[in-house]
Structure 1
Amino acid sequence: MAKKLKRIVRREYTKTDVKELRTHSKAKTPVAKIAKQMKRTVGSLRQKALKLGIPLGHMR
């Protein structure tokens, strides 16, 4: 029997998601932690931050 593949469901970023992302950026939260909390991929978060023009992924 073949394994079922998990379907990728795309979700739009809401205003609250963007606000939360900006807050995490200012707090210098690691991207992996943000990804788990927001239930989004690291790549998705990085792309959104790039479009918003905010820094993300602080490795200090």
Structure 2
Amino acid sequence: MAKKAKKIVRREYTAADVKQLRAHSKAKTPVAKIAKQMKRTEGSLRQKAIKLGIPLGHVR
């Protein structure tokens, strides 16, 4: 029997989520750590950061 595909559940970013993301950006917290804390994917966080125009993680 084939495995059932996991249903994608999309959650909107609240004002509190954006505020938390900005704080992590300023603190240069690793994206993997932010993802676990906020229960979102790294890709989702990176895309939101791009839309907000803020850097995320560190720059090599």
TM bin, normalised by shorter chain, reads over 0.9
| Unpaired segments ≥5 residues, structure 1 | none
Give the letter for the 2:2 counterpart: A
**Structure-1 separation of matches of 2:43 and 2:35:** 9
- 1:19-30 to 2 correspondence within 5 Å? 19-30=19-30
Q: Identity across aligned pairs (percent)?
A: 85
| Unpaired segments ≥5 residues, structure 2 | none
Q: Secondary structure at the match of 2:54?
A: coil
Q: Which runs of 4+ in 1 moved over 2 A?
A: none
The TM-score, its normalising length taken from structure 1, stands at 0.92
TM-superposed deviation, 1:37? 0.5
**Structure-2 separation of matches of 1:7 and 1:58:** 32
TM-superposed deviation, 1:59? 5.3
The TM-score, its normalising length taken from structure 2, stands at 0.92
